[in-house]
Amino acid sequence: MLFSRWWLRLKQSRGHGIHSPFAFDTITNVLHAKYGYYAFQDIPKMLTEKSLRSYARSEINHLSFRLVNHFKAKRILELNAAEGVNTRYLVASSSDIRCTCAATVPEPGAEPYDAIFINLKEKVEIENLSIDALLQLSHKNSWWAIYPINNRLSKQFWSLIVKDGRISITFDRKIMGVAFIRPSFHKMHYFV
């Protein structure tokens, strides 16, 4: 079982066996993009000046930037932002981005969020965190990024998201999971 999952992850991370154009594009141009951005040099310098460099997780931070940049998210909710290091990467791709940071799941507002980032590392329990609550804050093209997905409680929450029929496409990156609502797509789960 473990070897087959490793083999599937290896194949899918390179785009092999991926028939969905959306999933193939997301895997090759976002999740496993080989190029860097200006923010990958600028933000660490600023974090060093503010003594926040030790809180940076480059793999998660870079992936967060790529996701927001590629899918052009303008309204972002970040749950449990901790020191705000990842927030700097979320808003770096455009000055039009409005990022709301909260410690608990807020009440639904007039306008849904394009992207929701959930940090389950710093604080295991986020009050009112459920798939239904997240869906109320989302629209049909919204996506969620959950990190990490490799500890016990976050693994349970990620498993519920993967199994939920209202979530169409999910990508498992070992430490971070990305879920797309998009009801027009067939339900698929990828190990990348």
| Residue-wise pLDDT tens digits, 44-87 | 777 666 666 556 677 888 899 999 999 999 999 999 887 777 88
Domain boundary assignment for the chain: 2-191
Tell me which architecture the domain covering 2-191 has in CATH.
3-Layer(aba) Sandwich (3.40)
CA dihedral for 157, 171, 145, 98, sign (positive or negative): negative
Where is 100: in which H helix or E strand? strand 98-102
Q: Report how far residue 122's alpha carbon sits from residue 140's, in angstroms, rounded to the nearest whole number.
A: 29
Q: Report how far residue 116's alpha carbon sits from residue 78's, in angstroms, rounded to the nearest whole number.
A: 6
Of 28, 3, 1, 25, which Cα lies nearest the Cα of 13?
28
State what percent of residues in the chain have pLDDT above 70.
83
22-26, 82-86, 107-111, 176-180: least confidently modelled range:
82-86
The pLDDT tens digits of the residues spanning 98-133 come to 999 998 999 998 899 999 999 988 655 678 899 999
Beta strand pairing call for 75-79 and 177-180: unpaired
pLDDT band at 33 (very low <50, low <70, confident <90, very high): confident
Question: Would you state the pLDDT for residue 42?
Answer: 78
pTM summary value: 0.87
Of 72, 62, 74, 77, which Cα lies nearest the Cα of 31?
62
